[in-house]
Amino acid sequence: MGQYDRLDTKEIRKREIFERYLTHLGLSEQEIRGATIMDIGASTGAFADVAMDRGAKMVVSIEATRPGNRSDQTKGGNIKLFDTSAEDENLEEKLAGTDAEDKDFDYILAHASFLYTDFVENQDVSGKWTKEIDFLGLQQKAIQVLCYHLGKLKKDGGKMIIFPYFPSQAILNFKGNIKDVSEYNHLIYVAIQQALTDYPKLKFHIEEVKNEGGVKYYRIIFESNLDR
């Protein structure tokens, strides 16, 4: 029998999401065993469910929407906060009284969705902007969010992994829709430079992710160390 033969469709889907996401992040199952993880832009929290089954110590899922009218989950190591954005000023308040209160994290996983959705949703199919965007405000938000979460990393090898990033491409074609990501790239670049100024001892590099549909995806990796 195959590894999924005894699972229902929902569980199979969860595991597929989990395995694809690990590939995008460049992580192995072994690395998440015993780890404390914050997953930003977590959607339904499917990654957390499987990660906990595979041995993660704690996963805090943060999602700006509330898919399927799901309820928050704040007991035990599998914590899910919906209607909560990465830049939420009350995030610490929401984590107060949970197992994640005042915790540092081995891995902080960020989909960069707090920026990227603005670029997908506010351009038409030809890549023209459909409304005026506050790029300076988005840039400040990116810096604020990035630096706040870098401060939550464990000092002994904690990693923040951001996906996706498109440093070599200004125009992308998503399923027939043209998207201009040059401004997105600039915002991420400025946020990275500010983060490296605020945390000069962080290790930083960019890795290419498996090419999908002709689009080159990259991930950004910040890694802390003992003498940070």
pLDDT of residue 56: 96
Q: What is the mean pLDDT of the chain?
A: 85
Question: What per-residue confidence (pLDDT) applies to 212?
Answer: 64
Find tokens 């999401």 and name the residue: 17
The tens digit of pLDDT for each residue in 166-188 reads 877 788 776 777 888 888 888 88
Residues 159 and 108 sit within 8 Å (Cβ to Cβ): yes
Q: What are the Cα distances from residue 4, in Å, to 7, 55, 80, 169?
A: 5, 19, 26, 37
Taking the CB of residue 40, how many other CB atoms lie within 10 A of it? 24
- Cα separation, 158 vs 96, in Å, equals 22
- Model pLDDT for residues 109-122, shown as the tens digit of each residue: 988 755 677 777 88
Phi, psi of 170 (to 5 degrees): -95, -30
Cα separation, 181 vs 66, in Å, equals 27
Mean pLDDT for 77-84 is 94
Sequence spans of domains, the chain: 9-223
Enter the tokens of residue 174.
């998503």
The more confident residue out of 171 and 35 is: 35
Q: What pLDDT was estimated at residue 1?
A: 45
Lowest mean pLDDT among 75-89, 94-108, 111-125: 111-125
Let me know how many helices (H) and strands (E) the chain has, helices first.
7, 9
3-state secondary structure 148-168: HHHCCECCCCCEEEEEEECCC
Q: Domain 9-223 adopts which CATH fold?
A: Rossmann fold (3.40.50)
- Residue 228 clears pLDDT 80, i.e. is over it: no
Name which of 60, 61, 146, 144 is nearest 103 in CA terms.
60
Report for 88-92, 101-105, 139-143: range of highest mean pLDDT: 101-105
Helices of type H across the chain: 9-25, 29-32, 46-53, 91-95, 113-121, 135-150, 182-198
Confidence of residue 226 (pLDDT cuts 50, 70, 90): low
